[in-house]
Amino acid sequence: MIKTILVDDEVHCLDTLSILLANYCPEVKILAKCQSGEDALDSIGKFRPDLVFLDIQMPGMNGFQLLENFVQVPFSVIFATGYDQYAIKAIRLNALDYLLKPIDARELLAAIHKIKSHSHLPSKEQFEAMNSQLKKLENCFSKIAIATLEGYEMVPVKEIIYCEADNNYTHFHIKNGKKKTACRTLKEVEEQLLIFSFFIRVHHSYLINLNEVDKYVRGEGGYLVMNGDSTVNVSRNRKELLLKKLTSGK
The answer to whether 153 and 145 have CB atoms below 8 angstroms apart is yes
CA distances (Å), origin 226, targets 165, 201, 243 = 17, 14, 15
Query: Which range scores top for mean pLDDT: 60-64, 66-70, 89-93, 164-168?
Result: 164-168
pLDDT for 21-77, tens place per residue?
A: 999 999 999 999 999 999 999 999 999 999 999 988 787 788 888 988 998 899 999
Give the predicted TM-score (pTM) of the model: 0.58
C-alpha distances (whole Å) from 89 to each of 45, 110, 246 are 31, 18, 30
Q: Concatenated DSSP letters for the chain?
A: -EEEEEE-S-HHHHHHHHHHHHHH-TTEEEEEEESSHHHHHHHHHHH--SEEEE-S--SSS-HHHHHTT-SS--SEEEEEE---HHHHHHHHHTT-EEEESSPPHHHHHHHHHHHHH-SSPPPHHHHHHHHHHHHHGGGS--EEEEE-SSSEEEEEGGGEEEEEEETTEEEEEEGGGEEEEESS-HHHHHHHHTTSTTEEEEETTEEEEGGGEEEEE-SSS-EEEETTS-EEE--HHHHHHHHHHHHH--
What is the pLDDT confidence band of residue 146, given thresholds at 50, 70 and 90? confident
Q: Give residue-wise pLDDT tens across range 207-243.
A: 999 999 999 999 989 999 999 899 999 999 999 889 9
- How does residue 129 score in pLDDT terms, banded at 50, 70 and 90? confident
